[in-house]
């Protein structure tokens, strides 16, 4: 399983660390710079070519990548499959959508409403038809969404991760279905039509999280910043004691337990953190698209996250982010047409087949040797600077 | 790097509407949970465009259909709508197939002044009226009124309502509940079932246990409609079954087999075109559509495909009347369309009515000997 | 309708759905028993069986069509195992779960493009859409009796196979201790292929026999697979009788939920119970914890 990390780029991780022992920041800083450079270049190219609208799909793909990285964390580090991350995405997205679109104007005169307004938890904003409506502010809704996700993830994760085996797969599958059916069955959550009309999220300093055309470039960089921050944090995590413990659990759980690593706690923390990531992606994307639908909570969506995490190399978060952004971008632009779902399935099978344990192992090995040769050349060119 | 960017930017480097082509965008759920809606809609749309182009196109230009498969997911619909508006710069968008997706892009299209002719049925699509948003299916409320009036003719006053948890089902349920009071119908049982249900005997048992049920109304658009018919007979619930206009597909009657006999439902005249008098204004159009579709695709027509036909008909007629491809002129022309013969009925638009179909767009149909035919009292 | 026959009718409709879940769960359980793999593609075998049988009925009679479909899907199951699972050098269960997910998606999409999105069904084996067997004021479709019969046949057949035939005993040996089985000269790889094939065949048979009740369409696999898992887990993974009991229990639970709650939440109730069982007694009603733990590799 550890060998999955070496898929197409993982070699750089180990190569970098080996070369820069004692100075682990070198390779990491290089990756951050490369990421920023690529994202900026892409944006400038799109705008120069007059195709700034492509940034919309790219931004959406980046937000989905945040959720996929969460799934990769659980799969690569805790060695468990989570088939319910779509549901966590939905929990975050629906909570924020519901709170920011509900109309509490009826209670405007109540004392508690006035107090909440002064704390800026409740805000009055103009609605689409010229009236005024009082709803929860996006900041407060975000916090509420995160808290709810935290609680739910603990409830689901705690019993499932105590045991070894695929209980998490079952539990998350069941959880995902429950959330999906509850959404479909409740008029409050918009049932099959979803919630629309979610307002923009003013983040201060003139930046608003919204999908409208004038804010497109700013939102693109916001999304890039978010995912970059996440990758840096996870990179540090992987290099820390926690990361080593997770790696030990991944490789040989029994041995790790014998060595005194509290495997259950680490797995639970990884799961809860990944659930929070999915929920955060849900909140951000809901504000960006101005709405959310029940398809986000479905099993098919969760399975897509698993496919992308597996394709990216699971524990190789940069690879996961890259693969996820590219494939989701093409999917959102409709490149795969009616074969969209099949592409994800085929991707899953293909990637697994190319791993050292897979049936297409010789092809996979050849691709990896190509990759490590290319990375070795790059390392040599930059030298132990 | 340049190659990568070029790849990302994609192959859609065609210029926007030139004098030679008129681009119409379409978002349908060709695959996924609403495939029985989107697949016939897509086929119909392609057939319409090909036929029109074969006759020389419109205003001397060829029509081009830019079709996107949304698989009934609203985030894809939003993404495709933005693409069609900003990138492809289409003249109008037809579809989406489901109400949820339409509502997700209603404000987007209105803000960007993009014509949207939806093939979904929810009343909230056109109420409140958005200037650029229209829809082609008949109003749910009109279907409900037909059902209730037929019930009253038969002396039925107490009914059970079943609906699926899809957008179509939820919208129908609301209309059934709202209109029941004014029409003097009492709903004694009201259940929502999962659209992917494999067996509905338990739900129907609950209905059977409610006292005094004289008829059952089932409002869904999925194959579960056939299940309701079969299961009712199997557990011995022998009351008349009314379906919604979502039953308008021969396959559903086929699947229900013997249990489909006597089902009553309102629908457009497409399904009974052979019974229409020769002088009926819709007869020629319906017969031609049915003949061409069945010859080309070797499958039965359904009313769902007809909604896409009507959407394209409306746009092309409006372009002809306006004599231009300027979006605002076309929009005004649509609002002034009167007496336009379509598959679902005869359309009369106005600034306050963006559906265009009245009560007479429907006929009450029934199933006899496995075939659809007009219901005669 | 008086109380007694009402309750009986709910029970019968619970058994209707439960029998469908049970017949799916048996196949799922078989693969898990023999290989430790959670086969997410099991529902697709059910779908394929039904679809193939319907297509074949245009050319041959019903029994021949069903047999043909079962045989064809058995071969498909064996082929999938040979292609994707045999070459795996290290049998990481996580990898295998992920592969079965991918296979399930690909098979579903292939079915969409091979056939189309329309529903279809086999004719009722006996009777038709309105026939019903009446008992004590309640009624059930005769097709459900066929499903129950198939379930019984499968359970008995598997029992006989596993206990009294050489291949069956070899399969049991592989599942309880793969290394010892290999040392004893049993070809564990062939056993895996056999179990996949058998499970696929069982799934196809299930697909044929439930087709008149549920109607067959390309998307039916995934929801059935999920309910099948729920059933197998409730009953206890590794125990074929448990799968049957689990399936019937899930069906009856749903019927009870419908009688008490709004009907749209019956799935929620079933899965909530599943989650509860997972948390409190992960090895299900009839499974054993030791067998579960031993499976992890």
**Residues A288-301: tens digit of each pLDDT:** 988 899 989 988 89
CA distance, residue A146 to nearest chain C CA (Å): 23
Question: Which residues in chain B are closer than 8 Å to C220, comparing Cβ atoms?
Answer: 198
- Per cent of chain C over pLDDT 70 is 94
Cβ contact, residue pair A285, B75, below 8 Å: yes
Interface check for C130 against chain B (CB to CB < 8 A): the answer is yes
- Among the ranges given (A9-13, A328-332, C111-115), the one the predictor scored with the smallest mean pLDDT: A9-13
Interface check for B145 against chain A (CB to CB < 8 A): the answer is no
pLDDT surpasses 90 at A278 = yes
- The whole domain housing C168 covers 13-121+140-295
| Burial tier of C160 (Cβ tally within 10 Å: 0-12, 13-18, 19+) | exposed
Cβ contact, residue pair A191, B79, below 8 Å: no
Model pLDDT for residues A115-165, shown as the tens digit of each residue? 777 777 888 777 766 777 888 888 999 999 999 999 999 998 888 777 666
Cβ contact, residue pair B209, C17, below 8 Å: no
pLDDT at B12: 43
Interface check for B28 against chain C (CB to CB < 8 A): the answer is no
Q: Do you know the residue count of chain C?
A: 297
Show Cβ contacts of residue C250 under 8 Å, excluding neighbours closer than 6 positions.
C17, C18, C21, C227, C230, C231, C234, C270, C273, C274
Model pLDDT for residues C233-271, shown as the tens digit of each residue? 888 877 778 889 999 999 999 999 998 888 888 888 888
CA distance, residue B256 to nearest chain C CA (Å): 7
Q: Select the residue of A169, A184, A355 nearest C38 (Cβ to Cβ).
A: A169
State the DSSP H helix or E strand holding residue A195, giving kind and residue range, or none if neither: strand A195-196
CA distance, residue A9 to nearest chain C CA (Å): 20
- Angle (CA) A32-A33-A37 rounded to 5° is 120
pLDDT at B179: 94
All domains in chain B, ordered by first residue: 14-138+286-360 (3.40.50.2300), 140-267 (3.40.50.2300)
Q: Which of B274, B275, B78 is nearest to A288 (CA)?
A: B78
pLDDT surpasses 60 at A284 = yes
Show Cβ contacts of residue C132 under 8 Å, excluding neighbours closer than 6 positions.
B233, B234, B235, B236, C139, C140, C141, C142
Residue of C nearest to A309 (CA): C98
Which neighbouring-strand residues pair with B23? B64
Taking each helix axis from N to C end, the angle separating C42-56 and C221-235, rounded to the nearest 10 degrees, works out to 130
**How many domains does chain C contain in total?**
1
Tell me how many residue pairs between chain A and chain C have CB atoms under 8 A apart. Answer: 129
Q: Using CB atoms, which chains have 3+ pairs under 8 A with C?
A: A, B
pLDDT surpasses 80 at A23 = no
Question: Which residues in chain C are closer than 8 Å to A352, comparing Cβ atoms?
Answer: 95, 98-99, 102
Question: How far is it, in rounded angstroms, from Cα C5 to Cα B252?
Answer: 31
Model pLDDT for residues C70-82, shown as the tens digit of each residue? 999 999 999 998 8
Asked if residue C29 belongs to a domain, the reply is yes
Q: What is the pTM of this model?
A: 0.85
CATH of the domain at C266: 1.10.3470
Cβ contact, residue pair B233, C130, below 8 Å: yes
Asked if residue C5 belongs to a domain, the reply is no
Model pLDDT for residues A54-100, shown as the tens digit of each residue? 888 899 999 999 999 999 988 887 778 888 999 999 999 999 999 99
Cβ contact, residue pair A293, B122, below 8 Å: no
pLDDT at A358: 52
Q: What is the mean pLDDT of residues C55-78?
A: 94
More confident site: A14 or A111: A111
Largest CA distance in chain B: 75
Question: Average per-residue pLDDT in chain C?
Answer: 85
Confidence of residue C202 (pLDDT cuts 50, 70, 90): very high
- Angle (CA) B231-B233-B236 rounded to 5° is 110
Question: Which residues in chain C are closer than 8 Å to A171, comparing Cβ atoms?
Answer: 275, 278-279
Quick check: A126 and A132 in contact, CB under 8 A?
yes
User: DSSP secondary structure string, A314-338?
Assistant: TT-HHHHHHHHHHHHHHHHTTTTGG
Question: Which residues in chain A are closer than 8 Å to C103, comparing Cβ atoms?
Answer: 345, 349
Question: Average per-residue pLDDT in chain A?
Answer: 80
Chain C positions with Cβ closer than 8 Å to A = 38, 83-84, 86-90, 92-95, 97-99, 101-106, 108-110, 222, 226, 229-230, 233, 262, 264-265, 267-268, 271-272, 274-275, 278-279, 282, 292-293, 295-296
Cβ contact, residue pair A181, C267, below 8 Å: yes
The C-alpha R_g of chain C, in whole angstroms, comes to 19
Interface check for B31 against chain A (CB to CB < 8 A): the answer is yes
Question: How far is it, in rounded angstroms, from Cα B120 to Cα B304?
Answer: 9
More confident site: A118 or A42: A42
Q: What is the mean pLDDT of residues C169-190?
A: 77
Q: From start to end of B143-277, where are the E strands? A: 158-164, 186-193, 215-219, 241-243, 264-267
Question: Quick check: helix, strand or coil at residue B187?
Answer: strand
CA distance, residue B172 to nearest chain A CA (Å): 13
Q: Which of B359, B373, B251 is nearest to B305 (CA)?
A: B251
pLDDT at A6: 32
CA distance, residue B6 to nearest chain A CA (Å): 9
Q: What is the mean pLDDT of residues C20-47?
A: 87
pLDDT at A47: 84
pLDDT at A200: 85
State how beta strands B340-341 and A195-196 pair: unpaired
Quick check: B28 and B42 in contact, CB under 8 A?
yes
User: Sign of the CA dihedral A302, C43, A180, C285?
Assistant: negative
- Angle (CA) B11-B15-B21 rounded to 5° is 110
Tell me how many residue pairs between chain B and chain C have CB atoms under 8 A apart. Answer: 114
Q: What is the mean pLDDT of residues C211-225?
A: 90
List, for chain B, all residue ranges whose pLDDT scores fall below the cut of 50: 9-18
Cβ contact, residue pair A173, C88, below 8 Å: no
Count CB atoms within 10 A of the CB of residue A160: 26
User: Sign of the CA dihedral B155, B160, B166, B170?
Assistant: positive
Question: How far is it, in rounded angstroms, from Cα C6 to Cα C4?
Answer: 5
Cβ contact, residue pair B5, A42, below 8 Å: yes
pLDDT at A359: 53
Asked if residue C126 belongs to a domain, the reply is no
| Burial tier of A159 (Cβ tally within 10 Å: 0-12, 13-18, 19+) | middle
- Per cent of chain A over pLDDT 70 is 85
CA distance, residue A20 to nearest chain C CA (Å): 32
User: Sign of the CA dihedral A380, A384, B1, B4?
Assistant: positive
Question: Which residues in chain A are closer than 8 Å to C99, comparing Cβ atoms?
Answer: 348-349, 352
Residue B63 DSSP one-character state: E
pLDDT at B15: 40
- The interface pTM score, or ipTM, of the predicted complex is 0.87
Q: Select the residue of A56, A129, A331 nearest B128 (Cβ to Cβ).
A: A129
Question: How far is it, in rounded angstroms, from Cα C86 to Cα B349?
Answer: 64
Domain ranges within chain A, ordered by starting residue: 2-382
Question: Which residues in chain A are closer than 8 Å to C296, comparing Cβ atoms?
Answer: 164-165
Per 3-state DSSP, chain C is made up of helix, strand and coil in percentages (nearest 5) of: 75, 5, 25
Cβ contact, residue pair C271, A174, below 8 Å: yes
CA distance, residue C263 to nearest chain A CA (Å): 9
Q: CA-CA distances (angstroms) from residue C39 to A203, A356, B312?
A: 46, 22, 46
Q: What is the mean pLDDT of residues C17-46?
A: 87
pLDDT at B17: 44
Quick check: C108 and C47 in contact, CB under 8 A?
yes
């Amino acid at each position: 399983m550890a060998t999955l990390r070496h898929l197409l780029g993982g070699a750089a991780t180990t190569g970098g660390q080996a070369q820069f022992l004692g100075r682990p920041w070198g390779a990491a800083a290089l990756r951050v710079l490369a990421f920023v450079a690529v994202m900026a270049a892409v944006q400038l190219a799109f705008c120069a070519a007059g195709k700034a609208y492509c940034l919309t799909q790219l931004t959406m793909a980046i937000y989905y990548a945040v959720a996929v990285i969460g799934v990769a964390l659980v799969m690569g580090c805790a060695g468990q499959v989570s088939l319910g991350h779509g549901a966590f995405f939905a929990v975050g997205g629906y909570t924020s959508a519901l709170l920011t679109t509900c109309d509490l104007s009826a209670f405007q005169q109540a004392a508690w409403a006035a107090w909440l307004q002064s704390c800026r938890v409740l805000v009055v904003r103009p609605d689409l038809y010229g009236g005024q409506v009082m709803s929860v502010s996006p900041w407060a809704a975000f916090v509420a969404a995160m808290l709810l996700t935290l609680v739910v993830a603990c409830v689901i994760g705690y019993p499932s991760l105590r045991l070894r085996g695929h209980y998490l797969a079952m539990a998350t599958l069941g959880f995902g279905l429950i959330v999906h059916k509850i959404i479909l069955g409740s008029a409050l959550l918009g049932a099959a039509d979803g919630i629309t009309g979610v307002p923009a999220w003013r983040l201060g300093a003139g930046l608003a999280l919204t999908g409208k055309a004038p804010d497109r470039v700013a939102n693109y960089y916001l999304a890039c910043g978010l995912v970059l921050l996440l990758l840096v944090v996870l990179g540090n995590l992987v290099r820390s004691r926690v990361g080593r413990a997770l790696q030990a659990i991944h490789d040989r759980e029994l041995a790790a337990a014998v060595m005194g690593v509290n495997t259950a706690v680490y797995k639970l923390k990884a799961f809860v953190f990944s659930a929070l990531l999915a929920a955060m992606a849900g909140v951000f994307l809901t504000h960006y698209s101005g709405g959310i639908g029940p398809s986000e909570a479905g099993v098919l969506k969760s399975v897509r996250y698993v496919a992308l995490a597996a394709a990216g190399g699971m524990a190789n978060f940069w690879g996961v982010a890259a693969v996820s952004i590219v494939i989701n971008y093409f999917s959102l632009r409709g490149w795969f047409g009616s074969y969209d779902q099949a592409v994800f399935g085929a991707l899953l099978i293909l990637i697994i087949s190319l791993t050292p344990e897979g049936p297409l192992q010789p092809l996979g090995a050849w691709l990896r040797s190509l990759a490590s040769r290319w990375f070795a050349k790059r390392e040599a060119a930059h030298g132990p600077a | 790097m340049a190659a990568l960017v070029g790849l990302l930017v994609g192959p859609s480097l065609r210029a926007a509407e030139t004098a030679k082509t008129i681009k119409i965008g379409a978002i349908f759920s060709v695959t996924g949970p609403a495939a029985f809606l989107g697949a016939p809609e897509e086929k119909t749309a392609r057939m319409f465009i090909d036929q029109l182009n074969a006759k020389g196109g419109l205003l001397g230009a060829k029509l081009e259909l830019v079709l996107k498969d949304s698989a009934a997911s609203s985030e894809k619909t939003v993404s495709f709508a933005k693409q069609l508006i900003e990138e492809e710069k289409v003249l109008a968008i037809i579809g989406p197939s489901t109400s949820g997706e339409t509502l997700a892009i209603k404000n987007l299209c209105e803000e960007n002044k993009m014509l949207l002719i939806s093939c979904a049925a929810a009343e909230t699509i056109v109420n409140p009226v958005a200037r650029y948003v229209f829809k082609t299916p008949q109003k749910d409320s009109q279907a409900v009124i037909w059902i209730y009036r037929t019930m009253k003719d038969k002396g039925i006053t107490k009914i059970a309502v079943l609906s699926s948890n899809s957008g179509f089902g939820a919208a129908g349920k609301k209309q059934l509940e709202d209109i029941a009071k004014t029409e003097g119908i009492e709903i004694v049982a009201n259940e929502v079932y999962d659209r992917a249900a494999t067996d509905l005997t338990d739900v129907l048992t609950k209905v059977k246990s409610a006292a005094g049920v004289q008829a059952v109304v089932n409002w869904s658009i999925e194959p579960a409609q056939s299940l309701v018919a079969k299961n009712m007979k199997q557990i011995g619930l022998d009351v008349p079954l009314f379906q919604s206009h979502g039953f308008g597909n021969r396959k559903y009657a086929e699947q229900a087999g013997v249990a489909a006999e006597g089902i009553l439902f309102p629908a457009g005249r497409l399904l009974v075109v052979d019974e229409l008098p020769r002088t009926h204004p819709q007869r020629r159009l319906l017969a031609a559509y049915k003949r061409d579709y069945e010859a080309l695709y070797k499958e039965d027509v359904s009313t769902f495909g007809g909604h896409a036909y009507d959407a394209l008909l409306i746009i092309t007629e409006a372009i002809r009347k306006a004599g231009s491809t300027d979006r605002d002129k076309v929009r005004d022309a649509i609002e002034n369309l009167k007496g336009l013969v379509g598959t679902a009925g005869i359309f009369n638009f106005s600034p306050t009515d963006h559906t265009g179909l009245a009560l007479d767009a429907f006929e009450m149909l029934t199933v006899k000997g496995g075939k659809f035919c007009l219901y005669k009292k | 309708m008086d109380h007694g026959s009402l309750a009986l009718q709910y029970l019968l409709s619970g058994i209707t759905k439960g029998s469908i879940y049970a017949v799916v769960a048996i196949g799922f359980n078989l693969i898990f028993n023999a290989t430790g793999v959670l086969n997410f593609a099991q529902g697709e075998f059910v779908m394929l069986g039904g679809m193939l049988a319907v297509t074949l009925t245009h050319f041959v009679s019903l029994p021949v069509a069903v047999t043909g479909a079962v045989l064809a899907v058995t071969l498909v199951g064996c082929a999938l195992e040979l292609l994707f699972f045999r070459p795996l050098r290290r049998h990481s269960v996580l990898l295998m779960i992920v592969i079965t997910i991918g296979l399930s998606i690909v098979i579903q999409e292939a079915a969409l493009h091979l056939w189309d999105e329309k529903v279809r069904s086999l004719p009722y084996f006996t009777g038709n859409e309105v026939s019903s067997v009446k008992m004590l004021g309640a009624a059930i479709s005769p097709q459900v009796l066929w499903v129950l019969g198939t379930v019984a046949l499968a359970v008995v057949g598997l029992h006989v196979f596993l206990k009294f035939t050489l291949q069956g005993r070899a399969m049991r040996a592989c599942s309880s201790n793969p290394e010892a089985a290999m040392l004893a000269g049993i070809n564990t790889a062939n056993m895996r292929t056999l179990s996949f094939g058998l499970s696929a065949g069982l799934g196809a048979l299930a697909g044929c026999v439930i087709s008149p009740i549920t109607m067959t369409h390309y998307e039916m696999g995934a929801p059935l697979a999920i309910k099948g898992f729920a059933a197998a887990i409730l009953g206890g993974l590794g125990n074929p009788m448990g799968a049957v009991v689990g399936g019937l229990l899930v069906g009856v639970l749903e019927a009870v939920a419908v009688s008490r709650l709004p009907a749209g939440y019956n799935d929620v109730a079933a899965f909530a119970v599943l989650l509860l069982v997972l948390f409190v007694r992960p090895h299900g009603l009839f499974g054993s914890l030791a067998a579960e733990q031993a499976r992890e590799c």
